[in-house]
C-alpha cells in the first residue's frame, strides 16, 4: 500500500529565511508519480509540481526547488527567501502505477512566514 508521511506538522520562519518541507513516501511500485500542492488560507488547492519515478533530476522554479531521492524515498520541497505569501498548507502526494487512479496525500505541513 502506498503511504506519504509529512512529519512536520507546522513550521514557522521569518521572512527571507529558507525553509525545507520534508516528504517521505512508501511504495512497492517501480513506476509512480509524486506531487506537491499548496493550500493557501483561502482554501483552494494549487498544483505545484509533478515528478515521475524515473526522473531524479532536481527541479527549480523561481524560489521553489524540489529534491527527489529514491535512495531515501524522499521528495523534499525548499522555498528560498521565503515571503509572507508563502504561508499555506503544503501537501505531498503519491500516485502508484498499480493503483493508478488513487492519489494518496500526506497530512500536510502548515508553513507560517512571519514578517
| Binding region for another protein (CB under 8 A) | 4, 6, 33, 35, 37, 43-45, 47, 50, 52, 91, 95, 97, 100-108
DSSP 44-97: --EEEEEEETT----EEETTEEEEEEGGGTEEEEEESS--GGG-EEEEEEEEES
The closest of 77, 102, 89 to 27, measured between CA atoms, is 102
Q: Which is nearer to another protein, 47 or 69 (CB)?
A: 47
Q: Which is nearer to another protein, 64 or 105 (CB)?
A: 105
Q: Which is nearer to another protein, 20 or 31 (CB)?
A: 31
Least Cβ distance, residue 101 to another protein (angstroms):
5
Ramachandran area for residue 41 (φ above 0: left; ψ -120 to 50: alpha; else beta): alpha
Instruction: Output the nine-digit C-alpha cell for 6.
Output: 509529512
Least Cβ distance, residue 75 to another protein (angstroms):
14
Q: Which is nearer to another protein, 4 or 79 (CB)?
A: 4
Least Cβ distance, residue 107 to another protein (angstroms):
5
Residue 45 and residue 111 in contact, taking contact as beta carbons nearer than 8 Å: no
Least Cβ distance, residue 102 to another protein (angstroms):
6
Amino acid at each position: 500500500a502506498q503511504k506519504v508521511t509529512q512529519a512536520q506538522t507546522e513550521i514557522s520562519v521569518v521572512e527571507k529565511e529558507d525553509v525545507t518541507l520534508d516528504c517521505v513516501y512508501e511504495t512497492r511500485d517501480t513506476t509512480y508519480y509524486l506531487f506537491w500542492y499548496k493550500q493557501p488560507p483561502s482554501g483552494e488547492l494549487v498544483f505545484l509540481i509533478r515528478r515521475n519515478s524515473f526522473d531524479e533530476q532536481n527541479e527549480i522554479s523561481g524560489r521553489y526547488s524540489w529534491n527527489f531521492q529514491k535512495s531515501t524515498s524522499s521528495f523534499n520541497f525548499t522555498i528560498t527567501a521565503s515571503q509572507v505569501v508563502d504561508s499555506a498548507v503544503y501537501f505531498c502526494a503519491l500516485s502508484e502505477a498499480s493503483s493508478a487512479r488513487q492519489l494518496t496525500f500526506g497530512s500536510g505541513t502548515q508553513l507560517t512566514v512571519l514578517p
